[in-house]
Every structure is written in structure tokens, then in C-alpha cells.
């Protein structure tokens, strides 16, 4: 198992400001000290990824966002970059949603609400899958 560098750069796309803030707080609490780019919606996530693609080492995105949703963002990202770990956040325990996201290239998914421990486990799983 490889260890994700604590200085890694994240992109976190979540339309709910409180959830986004909690996600960033949890990442900092897990020891990640690198840059965390924030996006309020899928289009902003696309723009921030394009502007910072060389630096971003991990993407965490909500599924349901206004405008461009998480699945559309995922498909766009995978068309350009198949190697960055992508963790999809969803409040839907809908098998079809999960299957669609995995087929589109999500590395894994995490159900809301998450715990810091479950977030840590998913990050390790995703990182290892892309950094064998």
C-alpha cells in the first residue's frame, strides 16, 4: 500500500457550503496540508481542473450539483485524465447511480454523511488503485 503524500493537491466539488467546509476540515484533520481547490458546482470544478490539472492529485466530487452534475464532471475529466483518483460523494444509496459512476470512471464512492475514518479509508483505496 502506497501512502498518499500529505502535501497532495485536492479538488473538492460540493454545492453545499457546509458539506464542502466539513470535507476540507476532515482532509486537514487527516493531515493533508496541500492546496485544496474548492468548486461549488460541476462547471466550476471543470474550470478549476483545467487550470490546475498538472497539480491536482485527487478529486472528490458530489454527485448531485446544479448545472453540470458530478457524473458529467467525471466523464469530462476521464476524457482528459484517466489517472487521477476520483471519489464520488452521494447521498443516494442507489445501485444504478453507483454502477453508472463506476462505469464512467469513478475510482470509488462514499455515502453521505461520511465519517473521517470512512473518508480516510476511501482515500487510501483510491490512491492505491491509481498508484500501484
Which domain range does residue 87 map to? Answer: 9-130
Q: Which residues partner with 78 through β-bridges?
A: none
Look up the CATH number of the domain holding residue 58.
Answer: 3.40.50.2300
- Does 42 map to a domain? yes
Beta strand residue intervals within the chain, DSSP E = 9-13, 36-39, 56-62, 86-90, 108-111
pTM of this structure: 0.95
What is each CA distance from 18 to 5, 15, 25, 50, 100, in whole angstroms?
26, 9, 10, 25, 26
- Does 2 map to a domain? no
* Overall domain count for the chain: 1
SS3 content of the chain, % helix, strand, coil (to 5): 45, 20, 35
- Does 4 map to a domain? no
- Does 109 map to a domain? yes
Report the Cα 76 to chain-centroid distance in Å.
14
Per-residue pLDDT of the chain in tens (132 residues, 90 and over written 9)? 457 788 999 999 999 999 999 999 999 999 999 999 999 999 999 999 999 999 999 999 999 999 999 999 999 999 999 999 999 998 877 778 888 899 999 999 999 999 999 999 999 999 999 987
- Does 118 map to a domain? yes
Calpha distance 41→1 (Å, rounded): 32
- Does 15 map to a domain? yes
- Does 115 map to a domain? yes
Calpha distance 25→86 (Å, rounded): 19
Amino acid at each position: 500500500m502506497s501512502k498518499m503524500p500529505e502535501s497532495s493537491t485536492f479538488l473538492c466539488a460540493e454545492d453545499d457550503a457546509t458539506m464542502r467546509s466539513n470535507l476540507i476540515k476532515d482532509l486537514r484533520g487527516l493531515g493533508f496540508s496541500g492546496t485544496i481547490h474548492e468548486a461549488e458546482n460541476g462547471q466550476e470544478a471543470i474550470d478549476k481542473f483545467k487550470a490546475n490539472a498538472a497539480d491536482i492529485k485527487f478529486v472528490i466530487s458530489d454527485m448531485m450539483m446544479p448545472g453540470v452534475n458530478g457524473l458529467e464532471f467525471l466523464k469530462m475529466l476521464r476524457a482528459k485524465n484517466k489517472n487521477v483518483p476520483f471519489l464520488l460523494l452521494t447521498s443516494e444509496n442507489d445501485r444504478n447511480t453507483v454502477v453508472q459512476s463506476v462505469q464512467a470512471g469513478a475510482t470509488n464512492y462514499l455515502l453521505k454523511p461520511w465519517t473521517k475514518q470512512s473518508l480516510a479509508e476511501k482515500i487510501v483505496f483510491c490512491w492505491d488503485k491509481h498508484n500501484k
